[in-house]
Amino acid sequence: METQPIVEVRNLRKHFGSVVAVDGISFGVRRGEIFGILGPNGAGKTTTLEMIETIQRPTAGEIYVDGIDALRHPDRVKAVIGIQLQAAGFYPDLTLTQLIKFFAGLYGVPVDPRAVLKRFQLEDKARSTFDKLSGGQKQRFSLATSLLNRPKVIFLDEPTTGLDPQARRNLWDLIREVRAEGTTVVITTHYMEEAEQLCDRVAIMDRGRIIRLGTPRGLIEELLATGFRKPVVRQEASLEDVFIHLTGRSLREE
């Protein structure tokens, strides 16, 4: 039971005409972990997520989410997953309260919008529309709606892109909280520091293939074992540490 992966992907392929976006990948996500998919733009991260989310249909391969065949029963998969799309996905003209009621209605679950907003520090934005939010608020709201149907696994597509360091750390804390409550998290990013801080395991994708998969520490050890050495003096702190030390961790939002 414990060993059965929450997400299992086998020989997954996606072709757009003659372009191969995803080139036969296989991996499994363990229950309760934060799993990162890393890679440069165009590596196939978003396409992979959207195939697991049953938004796009694979050209070939198999996908199982919580033991459900995603190609045969996409509607059952949709009910047990939560998703966050890249920085968007909400009616610009509706208030946050309306949007939460809207999605709760589509998932057919009872929800108290005020409690949801309070948990994600958005209670004073209940009557704002989505397009009036700051970048960090948008991502927090997006995370909040991805959890409305109490999913077993959530997929976050580049949730921290464009955020300032404070907002990014705040979102990391929220994602860790979500995991602590038992929800598996699959996240894509191209920030290596974020993957190192947040993820239990990462898959590194390039040109539609997974070229490495392991724990961040394990991958670093693997590289060092090849004789790789950084050609700089080891620093006790980074510039980001300086920035956070000087400006604090508290959120900067209007």
Out of 10, 31, 101, 119, the residue judged to bind another protein by CB under 8 A: 101
Q: Indicate whether 55 belongs to the interface with another protein (CB under 8 A).
A: yes
Q: Which stretch binds another protein (CB under 8 A): 100-108, 164-172, 178-186, 190-198?
A: 100-108
Contact 156, 86 (CB under 8 A): no
CB of 120 to another protein, least distance (A): 17
Using left for φ > 0, alpha for ψ between -120 and 50, and beta otherwise, residue 38 falls in beta
Q: Indicate whether 94 belongs to the interface with another protein (CB under 8 A).
A: yes
The encoded tokens of residue 6 equal 């929450």
CB of 46 to another protein, least distance (A): 11
Q: Indicate whether 191 belongs to the interface with another protein (CB under 8 A).
A: no
Q: Which stretch binds another protein (CB under 8 A): 50-58, 62-70, 170-178, 208-216?
A: 50-58
Out of 45, 78, 125, 201, the residue judged to bind another protein by CB under 8 A: 78
- Strand ranges in the chain using DSSP code E only, listed in sequence order: 7-16, 19-29, 34-38, 60-65, 68-69, 81-84, 153-157, 184-189, 201-206, 209-214
**In Å, how far are 13, 70, 191, 206 from 229, measured between CA atoms?**
36, 43, 21, 23
Q: Is the dihedral of CA 107, 110, 114, 115 positive or negative?
A: negative
Q: Indicate whether 53 belongs to the interface with another protein (CB under 8 A).
A: yes
Q: Indicate whether 162 belongs to the interface with another protein (CB under 8 A).
A: no
Q: Indicate whether 60 belongs to the interface with another protein (CB under 8 A).
A: no
- List of residues 6+ apart from 104 with CB closer than 8 A: 110, 111, 113, 148
Binding site for another protein (CB under 8 A): 50, 53-55, 75-76, 78-79, 81, 83, 85-86, 88-94, 98-99, 101-103, 105-108
